[in-house]
Amino acid sequence: MSEPTTAPAAEKTRALVLNSGSSSLKYQLFDMRTGERLAQGLVERIGEGPVADHAQALEIAAEELAAAGYGLDDPELAVIGHRAVHGGTRFTEPTLIDDEVVAEMAKLATLAPLHNPANITGIEVARALRPDLPQVAVFDTAFHATMPEAAARYAIDTATADRLGIRRYGFHGTSHAYVARATAELLGTPLAETNTVVLHLGNGASATAVRGGRSVDTSMGMTPLEGLAMGTRSGDVDPGVLLHLARTGGMSTDGIDELLNHRSGMLGLAGANDMREITRRAEAGDAAARLALDVYCLRVRKYVGAYMAVLGRVDAVAFTAGVGENSAAVRATSLAELPSLGIEVDPELNAVRSTAPRLISTAASRVKVAVVPTDEELEIARQAYSLARGPAPSPSDIR
């Protein structure tokens, strides 16, 4: 890697975002001044074949960026932003990364073993390649730091909980924050006066009650396992089930972890974790797929009802992420026949395929129902850039 040529700091306007998942690396490069998305890509199946680890994945990403005309040695690069999943109680704001921050994130890996180690590898490789650049971690948990203590506490012995860091942290916060703001823009109401139930339905899935732009409750807890039923994760189960699996099922701690995180959810119920396949099979009459879809949608519906009660007044329910943005069937089933709650989905609007934020409720629906594509990378770029370089353009300026 050649030495970056020196440009005056004030003129550097590019932000690179790295989202290192457990088995993938997503990257996007933005020009924060013009709002242009300059390059993006995805390196998948890390650890399974030709891509041995995250270090190699980042090399591939760097080659792809260079081929697109933007090397990692790009002198216009102002900042690298990293998605970081678990920030514990320590990291509640975008954070400039140094050795001490990385060490603290490594300690938090016990709370997010699927996610934090991958984040850290991405960070270390990027720091080795560009030690001259500010690098910023943007935490999934940060947005939920405003949750009232009653929402963050489990009703277990306080001393035990405090000793082991057992509390509800919540995840997907970058997405929930972005979508809550974009929903207020769509409604044309000030964020501070808008109450929204955000449903982030992707591989992982979570619901958040957002009051005036602040998270007041969320469905994921100490780890990204609580709450909604997901592709391979169970979401809520009676904790007694875990005891039964150990005592009567003879399962080890790792075995239970593997069952609940990797062999449950849609995969456990119907043998597939992709909602496209589940929906197709359910429509073709497959009973297991139908049941899986019903479990998924009933759980979403229960959280919507719960968060309407938490918020008192709700202006909008917003669907986002892979399933939420694309599955009309999940949206329709989850919110079917709720006129008593003031929710009425318009079947024709719901069927429209689009990548734009849009309303899918009837004109009479008291609570608006919206589909709002999320953009975690853009939100990370904005937060990283404003921490490193000052105010970034607003998201609606960036395409």
Span 330-349, contacts to ligand ADP by CB under 6 A: none
**324 interacts with ligand UVW by CB under 6 A:** no
Active site residue 140: yes
Closest approach, Cβ 265 to ligand UVW, in A, equals 12
Joined together, the tokens standing for residue 137 give 């971690």
Catalytic residue among 74, 140, 286, 375: 140
**Contact with ligand ADP (CB under 6 A): which of 59, 104, 274, 346?**
274
119 labelled binding-site residue: no
Residue closest to ligand ADP, measured at CB: 322
- The answer to the question of residue 88 lying near ligand UVW (CB under 6 A) is no
CB of 111 within 8 A of CB of 43?
no
Is there binding between residue 202 and Mg ion (CB under 5 A)? yes
* Piece of 39-47, 238-246, 273-281, 355-363 that binds ligand ADP (CB under 6 A): 273-281
Dihedral (Cα; 245, 289, 175, 326), 10-degree rounding: 170
Q: Which two three-digit tokens encode residue 108?
A: 């938090």
Q: List the interface residues with ligand ADP, window 165-224 (CB under 6 A).
A: 202-204
Bridge partner list, 237: none
Which residues are bridge partners to 95 per DSSP? 137
Which residue type is seen at 165?
Answer: G
Q: Does 171 bind ligand UVW (CB under 6 A)?
A: yes
How far apart are the C-alpha atoms of 139 and 261, rounded to whole Å? Answer: 21
Residue nearest to Mg ion (CB): 202
Q: Based on CB atoms, which residue is closest to Mg ion, 173 or 268?
A: 173
Query: CB 359 → ligand UVW: shortest distance, Å?
Result: 25
CB of 235 to ligand UVW, least distance (A): 11
Per-state percent for the chain, helix, strand, coil, to nearest 5: 45, 20, 40
CA–CA separation, 13 and 182 (whole Å): 24
Does 231 sit near ligand ADP (CB under 6 A)?
yes
**83 marked among binding-site residues:** yes
Tell whether residue 313 is among the known ligand binding residues. no
Alpha helix ranges (H) inside 110-252: 116-129, 149-152, 158-164, 173-187, 239-247
| Whole-angstrom distance, CA of residue 31 vs CA of residue 41 | 16
φ, ψ of residue 204 in degrees (nearest 5):
-85, 155
Residue 77 or residue 330: which is nearer to Mg ion going by CB? 330
Distance CA(150)–CA(226), nearest Å, equals 17
**Least separation, in Å, of the C-beta of 386 and ligand ADP?**
24
Closer by beta carbon to ligand UVW, 262 or else 290: 262
The two structure tokens encoding residue 282? 């359910």
Asked if 81 is part of the footprint of Mg ion (rule: CB under 5 A), the reply reads no
215 binds ligand UVW (CB under 6 A): no
Q: Which residues are CB-contacts of 189 (< 8 A; sequence separation ≥ 6)? A: 315
Report DSSP letters for 98-132, one per residue. Answer: -HHHHHHHHHGGGT-TTTHHHHHHHHHHHHHH-TT
**Active site (catalytic) residues:** 140
Binding-site residue set: 19, 26, 83, 200-204, 274-276, 322-326, 376
Binding-site residue set for substrate: 83
Task: List residues near ligand ADP by CB under 6 A.
Answer: 202-204, 231, 274-276, 279, 321-323, 326-327
Task: List residues near ligand UVW by CB under 6 A.
Answer: 21, 85, 115, 140, 171-172, 202-204, 224
